[in-house]
Structure 1
Amino acid sequence: MTHPNDPPQLRLRVVFGEGRMVGPGKAELLERIGRCGSIAAAGREMGMSYKRAWMLIETMNAMFAAPVVESTRGGPGGGGAVLTEMGEEILRRYRALEAVADEAGAAEVAGLAALLRDVSE
């Protein structure tokens, strides 16, 4: 959640067509799956239901030329999930694009922020 005194930030979404996009939420989900090794744990960390997290992964798996996440079914030891090479590349390229956009847009974002009404009271 953002607060009035937080620095402004540019949030980037790449839209490939109807229902086909990658943005900050999907990138964060991929990062957390990579770190947690679990779709359920990644979703919980984001305050997202397992069903919603799985739906986003299924969307990305269908959208790209190869799956972005592979999962194993639960059992006595529990299931898990890993980013594929495709998932790692998508995340790397998205984060690189964010960095380029942040740098290129910094002056304009600061200019827009300067035009904001003061809400500190």
Structure 2
Amino acid sequence: MRVDFLGGTPERRLGPGKIALLEAIARTGSISAAGRSLGMSYKRAWDLTDAMNRLFKAPVVETRSGGRDHGGAVLTTTGQCVLETYRALEVRAMSAADTHLAALAELLATPSADG
């Protein structure tokens, strides 16, 4: 499921790829590792993270510089809220779609034996 906000340009979209990236950042603690785990380049992962940080009122991912602790990235409170809200919306949308798809399925013609 993809959500288009105000104009629907790529920078103003939120969909499975960006959500998977947020989940991977939460899991790995790193934009680079998250990108690798999803088969995307560091630049692509960074660009998507930057786009999400600009999309919302507050950043969704916070980064720490390297050094002794090797840096990293964490979801902010906003990022966690975006992730949870998207997943809840996805569940409700799929549930609503199932009901309507079942109604449409009842209207389908039965295929004939000769094709």
Return the TM-score normalized by structure 2.
0.81
- 2:12 counterpart of 1:23: no
Alignment of 1:86-97 (within 5 A): 86-97=78-89
Identity of aligned residues (%): 55
Q: Which of residues 33, 36, 44 is equivalent to 1:41?
A: 33
Q: Which has the higher contact order (CA 8 A, sep 6+)?
A: 1
For structure 1, the 5+ residue unaligned runs are: 1-11, 116-121
What residue number does 1:79 align with? 71
- 2:3 counterpart of 1:14: yes
Distance across 1 between alignment mates of 2:74 and 2:49: 11
**Compared CA separation, residues 84 and 108, structure 1 to 2 (3 A):** same
CA shift, 1:28, in A, is 0.6
- Following TM superposition, the consecutive aligned residue runs of length 4 or more in structure 1 with deviations greater than 6 angstroms are none
> What is the root-mean-square deviation of aligned Cα atoms in Å?
1.8
What residue number does 2:95 align with? 103
Q: Deviations over 1:86-119 (max 9, x none)?
A: 00000001000100011111244564xx99xxxx
What residue number does 1:58 align with? 50
Return the TM-score normalized by structure 1.
0.77
Amino acid of the structure 2 residue aligned with 1:75? G
- Max radius of gyration: which structure? 2
Amino acid of the structure 2 residue aligned with 1:22? L
For structure 2, the 5+ residue unaligned runs are: 110-115
Amino acid of the structure 1 residue aligned with 2:4? V
Distance across 2 between alignment mates of 1:48 and 1:90: 22
Aligned length: 102
Q: Deviations over 1:4-25 (max 9, x none)?
A: xxxxxxxx10000223010001
Distance across 2 between alignment mates of 1:101 and 1:68: 23
